[in-house]
Structure 1
Amino acid sequence: MKVAIVFGGAGSERMVSVASAQHMSTYLPEAELWHWLPDRRVQWVDRARLLTHPNPFINPLEPDEHRQPLAVDIDDALEQARQRHLTLVLALHGVDGEDGTLALLCEEAGVAFTGSGSRASRLAFNKLATKTAVQACGVPTLPHLVLSDDGARLDAWGRHWLSECAGVVAKPVSDGSSYGLFMIRSADQWERFLRQPPEVPYMIEPLLNGIEATVGVIEHDGLVALEPVEIRLPDATDFDYISKYLNQVEERCPSTLPSQIVKALKSYAIAAHQAVAAEGYSRSDFIVRDAEIIFLEINTLPGMTQASLLPKELAVANIDIRTFLLRQILLGQIRMARGRFAELATTP
């Protein structure tokens, strides 16, 4: 089997990508390891160097300047993959991965790859567009505003949510789920946020108390929703990059949620997967308040690190990670063999 795990990229979640590649490579020892550097070169990485790289969530994997790059840029790398009939296992998160950038380049180059196609990833990466898509399928979502809305209206709703809910959450419209979050719990914090707003588009939602839950969906003899992970946060803790990846939360799988809630979560996760036309696998995040379930977002390239949620769900389902990855590789190869890339790359 000729495969390469591609990781890194230029986005804010490139260190998570390194951690995913570390974990995935232990189950695919035959895979080449391609590090897509922030300067856009692609470098082949020695397996031992990757596996012994310490604390990848906080320590960047620096380029090995003693080694010649595999390719001067990703286009050159993809041409090599095409000529060698390699299938690429995508382990990128955030920009370059979840946003469909590399998927589109693979489609245009005719290179098989794992995960969703570019259109699905591009849609899922845009939280506003995703909301519209899942709402049309009957999946409940939160009310929202965007930072560019009328200032007086934005301020009024923000203050309303501060008084009636747990606060306000502001998140980038198009970015991963671990960076750039603002959890606003006071009028002073809200005023400071409005005075010095981020320069990129932001979505504003009410912050709700409740149980966070996440549900993986995989293609495994049809679409299968895995057992939800129930996420319990200590008091005054936000589910951000630090708490997610540095083990500051309690994650229960199987969950202790009532069976009817679990059934509904699985149904909504499959509906969200289908709404964005995801392929291979995805992970949808929700908040549960008593009998109420609210969709937060979907990820078409969820983390596969040792600390990630999808591997926990696969373990509960008694699906070995190597078996899962080999299935994803096969799905990518079938997609290419059916000649779908040209259609996907050119259809608006």
Structure 2
Amino acid sequence: MKKVAIIMGGYSSEYQISLKSGNVVYQFLDKTKYEAYRIHIFKEKWVYVDDTDTEFPVDKNDFSVTVKGTKINFDVVFNAIHGTPGEDGLMQAYFELLEIPQSSCDYYQAALTFNKRDLLSVLKPYGIKTATSYYLNFGDDINTDLILKTVGLPCFVKPNKSGSSFGISKVKTKEEFLPAIETAYKEDNEIIIESFLDGTEVSVGVINYKGEITVLPITEIVSENDFFDYEAKYLGKSQEITPARISPEMTAKVSAVAKKAYEVLKMSGFSRSEFIIVDNEPHMLEMNTIPGLTTESLIPQQAAAAGISLTDLFTNALELALNK
């Protein structure tokens, strides 16, 4: 039986969501095939947590744990860390050096997709449309008039490398702009400022399922709030409609763009891309490579609509990792 380390937690504001995702993976993993271990990764400690909540330290030299005198090495890692260090390439590079297979994409793809600016810059030459944007690094001079002339109002101010909508503001007036910059800088030292796209928001999961790149049924996002923020994502302040209420032609168009992005980037594992459809053209906002895996999350919803159970979804991810 293969020993699986399910890594969860992380160093960012998303750690609590990651713990939920990791525990869902632990709950639904096929226990006839895999012996699962919950590994909590935090800045202050890396520990294996057993079913009695007893903690055993992880030896970072070889990513092993010793339990009651027995050393345990892992055959494969299921990565459920949203944000750093699980979604930005750090853990992927670490496991590649240790030659331990893991379920997410490779380190380069993780680092690239985690950086919204770089991701969109790479995809633009392939005809994938995006919002008009402006970038700032911490310490840059802020020319409010120039920036707002470039992107217009309303606009979005976002941390460049962050998830779960932490630090994002929708700016409607010039007076709201500098406070939004301050909010974003609390999450990241790079900021992306984007024009407001007025259209239908959809989320598209793409996975390698049984060796074939597969686009899952598309989810339409209808937020009660100004945008698909933390409350909308996790506290029920949105409608998530799967399949999306878009035409078959638009479904095919969005699916093709999402699949193209997956293939262009030489992705593996899970991906969930966010688009806003404006004038019959999908505009990409971002791509998540460690999307939420709680029972309420979008990828599990989309998999269910495709007839794929959570156990099948997680088993498939591990089998692909082991066969890489």
**Fold match by TM threshold 0.5:** yes
Task: Find the counterpart in structure 2 of residue 249 from structure 1.
Answer: 238
Question: Given that residues 201 and 275 in structure 2 are in contact (C-alpha distance below 8 angstroms), is that contact kept between their aligned partners in structure 1?
Answer: yes
Q: 1:18 aligned to 2:19?
A: yes
Deviation at 1:44, TM superposition (A): 2.1
* Structure 1 pair 197–118 and aligned structure 2 pair: CA distance change class (3 A): closer
Q: 1:6 aligned to 2:2?
A: no
For residues 247 and 197 of structure 1, what CA distance do their matches in structure 2 show?
Answer: 23
Task: Find the counterpart in structure 2 of residue 328 from structure 1.
Answer: 317
* Structure 1 pair 212–269 and aligned structure 2 pair: CA distance change class (3 A): same
Superposed CA offset, 1:187-223 (max 9, x none): 2101444688726110111122222101011112321
After superposition, where does 1:168-247 map in structure 2 within 5 Å? 168-193=155-180, 198=185, 200-220=189-209, 221-234=211-224, 236-247=225-236
Deviation at 1:290, TM superposition (A): 4.0
Q: 1:271 aligned to 2:272?
A: no
Question: Given that residues 206 and 216 in structure 2 are in contact (C-alpha distance below 8 angstroms), is that contact kept between their aligned partners in structure 1?
Answer: yes
Q: Which runs of 5+ in 1 are unaligned?
A: 50-63, 336-348
For residues 212 and 128 of structure 1, what CA distance do their matches in structure 2 show?
Answer: 20
Question: Given that residues 283 and 310 in structure 1 are in contact (C-alpha distance below 8 angstroms), is that contact kept between their aligned partners in structure 2?
Answer: yes
SS across alignment from 2:130: coil
Structure 2 counterpart of 1:44, from 45, 49, 53: 49
* Structure 1 pair 195–115 and aligned structure 2 pair: CA distance change class (3 A): closer
For residues 195 and 118 of structure 1, what CA distance do their matches in structure 2 show?
Answer: 30
Question: Given that residues 78 and 106 in structure 1 are in contact (C-alpha distance below 8 angstroms), is that contact kept between their aligned partners in structure 2?
Answer: no
For residues 296 and 32 of structure 1, what CA distance do their matches in structure 2 show?
Answer: 34
Equivalent residue letter for 2:56: P
Q: Which runs of 5+ in 2 are unaligned?
A: none
- TM-score between both structures, scaled by the size of structure 1: 0.82
Deviation at 1:26, TM superposition (A): 1.7
For residues 79 and 113 of structure 2, what CA distance do their matches in structure 1 show?
Answer: 16
For residues 282 and 26 of structure 1, what CA distance do their matches in structure 2 show?
Answer: 22
Q: 1:93 aligned to 2:82?
A: yes
SS across alignment from 2:185: coil
Equivalent residue letter for 2:212: G
SS across alignment from 2:129: coil
- TM-score between both structures, scaled by the size of structure 2: 0.88
Q: Which has the larger strand fraction?
A: 2
After superposition, where does 1:297-316 map in structure 2 within 5 Å? 297-316=286-305
Superposed CA offset, 1:78-132 (max 9, x none): 587x973421111100111110111110000111110101111011111111012
Task: Find the counterpart in structure 1 of residue 63 from structure 2.
Answer: 77
For residues 269 and 180 of structure 1, what CA distance do their matches in structure 2 show?
Answer: 25
